[in-house]
Structure 1
Amino acid sequence: MSRPSVIPPTGFPFTRPRRTRMAGWSRRLVQENRLSAADLIWPVFVIDGENEARPISGLPGVSRLTIDLLIVEAKRAVGLGIPAIALFPAVDPSRKSDEAEEAWNPDGLMQRAIRAVKAAVPDIGLIGDVALDPYTLHGHDGIVVGDRVDNDESVAALVKMALAQAEAGIDVIAPSDMMDGRIGAIREALEENGYSQTLILSYAAKYSSGFYGPFRDALGVTGASYGPQGKATYQMDPANSDEALQEVAIDLSEGADWVMVKPGMPYLDVLYRVKETFAVPTFAYHVSGEYAMWKAGVAAGYIDGNRTLLETLIGFKRAGADGILTYAALEAAELLRG
């Protein structure tokens, strides 16, 4: 049987999608997704000291900042329309231990940074990373017992860490550790201690990825003591996507307000499935390795930096992201401001 022709007898198509693309005003009118500074979250590394911006070799254009400079940059972010920053402490090695006690020290770097930024820049949202790797000698996200990361011991420590951040004034607790049951335990502790309004952004689908290298260097976390399995016993297998839906469902049932997929670009299919399945606030992390590759391509002259940055970020939006964590947040916000 011959297939019917899609070309009318006149020889010209009646349906021409290009008609809509011919003028800028019509392209803007039918644009399906829009990107703004309000979609961006800026991850920031904080260090002890004063008036110091310490460049990170693997992240061109990114520096670890002392608290005073962090306040200056937070004000800049607010001025550009960025609604929130995510704080990551680069802890002095002398403060690290096997049990990660510095993570819940009320006078520790993270808690001091939270108090200072909230006092100086009250209009910005603060998202606090909750994982033990910045504070442990071995670099794992939990407590190591024998030859394994012990789930329940780790959850107990994460609860103390989350409460310390809540007491300091954090707006959003963001557990990135991937221990089972930590969302429920943290939510229960927040409720019992008067922090029922503190949001939880769960790194619900965090994969055991090779794209985290520059981030680990920025925190001073090496892989030397991870062991032969690295973090694969608690972070997800890159081959799995059904499992991501299970992880998200569990975390939402335990009290997570928002969920995240990490990394970003290699997992846009997972991001799409999560958003389509649950229709809750869903975030993506344009992680350090992705950012570093983009910067390297720009530096080599292979790609147009501005164009590819915005194309990357709109890709996250198209896949379903409500918010995007990216080290290029300030650059993107400047571009979007025009």
Structure 2
Amino acid sequence: MTSSVETRVSAGPHGPAPEGPPPRRAANALLGLGLLSALAALVVVALLSVWVGSRGISFNDTWRVLWSPDGSETSVIIHQYRIPRTVLGLLVGMALGLSGALMQALTRNPLADPGLLGVSLGASTGVVVAMGILGIGSVLGYVWFALLGAALASVLVYVLGSSGRKVATPDRLVVAGAAVTAVLYAFNSAVLLLNPRAFDQFRFWTVGALAGRRMDVVLAVLPFVVVGVAVALVLAPPLNALALGDQTGRALGVNVNRTRLLGAAAVMLLCGAATAAAGPIGFVGLVVPHVARFVVGPDQRWVMAYSMLLAPVLLIGADVLGRVLGAPGEIQVGIVTAFVGAPLFIALCRRRKLAML
């Protein structure tokens, strides 16, 4: 016979205790549902990107040739232009969102973006060298120079930030990135001013665009994005520990220098590949991680997962919006993201104070 004390404890003061999932499990289930919603939004904007363009094609025709290409003009437009453009927007968006979240976590700076460590300008320098000095004008030709420029800029920033027998702290990396950015900007300006033809080519690239990119460009940057995404996701748990401070992170078993080095490498791969393929696109890597943290909190595992989906939603959606607003032409996606991202970021700043990470 069960004692009355045990009965009262199990039943509680107001009847039987409710059975249900623990609060953390319920919160994770809710966040998982939000992640599925972000994935659904990404599918919707991807379909819109394949359907909407400067040439009007009915949704029925778009859906038909999407699954059954027949060699018609509509099929060529869908499969050779709009699908590669949409896939590239997906890759570039994922890369920019993850690199932004990673940059803000590594530097503990809520205003950090992929250009903070000179990665974006390093990629731009590679393009300037390819166009202005070597005379390379094709996207597939200068994409490798952009990746090489991003890599060299990242290495230079890390070397400068860890010089003098000191560790590469976030503050030192930011200062080194600002110095490298200033030097590279001066170099780019000098080369472009001396070569008007290269300046005309670079002017279109530097706006940031997904138009005109074919599947060969997508395949060229795909390996770099895949590796960068894998490294970034692996670093999420150590970054959660480092958010408590370097000493606490070490006490929890985190190798601080290795985490920062791998993080810088992931930013270089992601941002370098995105910039090489589409040009420097602003605000995506800055705004999206803040939106993700506003929804999920400070846990980097969820922040990176949400950033990886919300960033391509923003980028592809901005690309579609540019086609609609600029019809029969189009507005380049880098311009649209600036107009969309700036008010969104201001609204986030006004809604709550951006805490240091």
Q: TM-score, normalised by structure 1?
A: 0.27
Higher strand share: 1
Q: Which has the larger radius of gyration?
A: 2
Q: TM-score, normalised by structure 2?
A: 0.26
Higher helix share: 2
- Relative contact order, CA 8 A, sep 6+: which one is greater? 2
